[in-house]
Structure 1
Amino acid sequence: MAIEDDDKPRRKVSHEIGQDLSLLSLEELNERISLLTSEIERLQAAATKKRASKEAANNFFKS
């Protein structure tokens, strides 16, 4: 009885900066691009919130 690929648990996609990419498949590279794009968007949202908080504090103490 053959085990189908869908039955195998998928390993969690992760990426290490500077990692050798030569052994990754095109699918794995695309998964990592998606992962990193999502992380960039999350970081940008956090930076936007912090910037707004800092501006609000600056405006409060200028008054």
Structure 2
Amino acid sequence: MDADENLPRRNDDLAARLGKQDLDPYSVDELNERVELLEAEITRCKAKIQYAVNHRASADALFKR
């Protein structure tokens, strides 16, 4: 369990704000860059999820009766 898991979530979620942003002003190249950045963030989130699942499984195995 991370130390900041017990902290309240922020109200100004950047991902939610990105979803509401108007994409019309962006060029195709800028949109492709944005997609690459978002895909990298998805990969980072999935890695964090996998770490948490593995960490929990290890703790459960250690303390299993």
Q: RCO greater where, 1 or 2, for CA within 8 Å and sep 6 or more?
A: 1
- State the partner residue of 2:24: 22
Tell me the matched-pair count.
Answer: 49
- Determine what percentage of the aligned residue pairs are the same residue: 37
What's the C-alpha RMSD, in Å, of the aligned pairs? 1.4
Q: TM-score, normalized by length of structure 2? A: 0.68
Number of the residue aligned with 1:50:
52
**Greater than 3 Å deviation, 4+ residue runs:** none
Structure 1 runs not aligned, ≥5 long:
1-14
Q: CA deviation at 1:18?
A: 1.5
- Residue ranges of structure 2 left out of the alignment (5+ in a row): 1-16
Q: Secondary structure at the match of 1:40?
A: helix
Q: Which one-letter code corresponds to 1:43 in the other structure?
A: C
Query: TM-score w.r.t. structure 1 length?
Result: 0.70
CA distance in 1, matches of 2:38, 2:27: 16
Which structure has the highest helix share of the two? 2
Q: Which residue of 2 aligns with 1:33?
A: 35
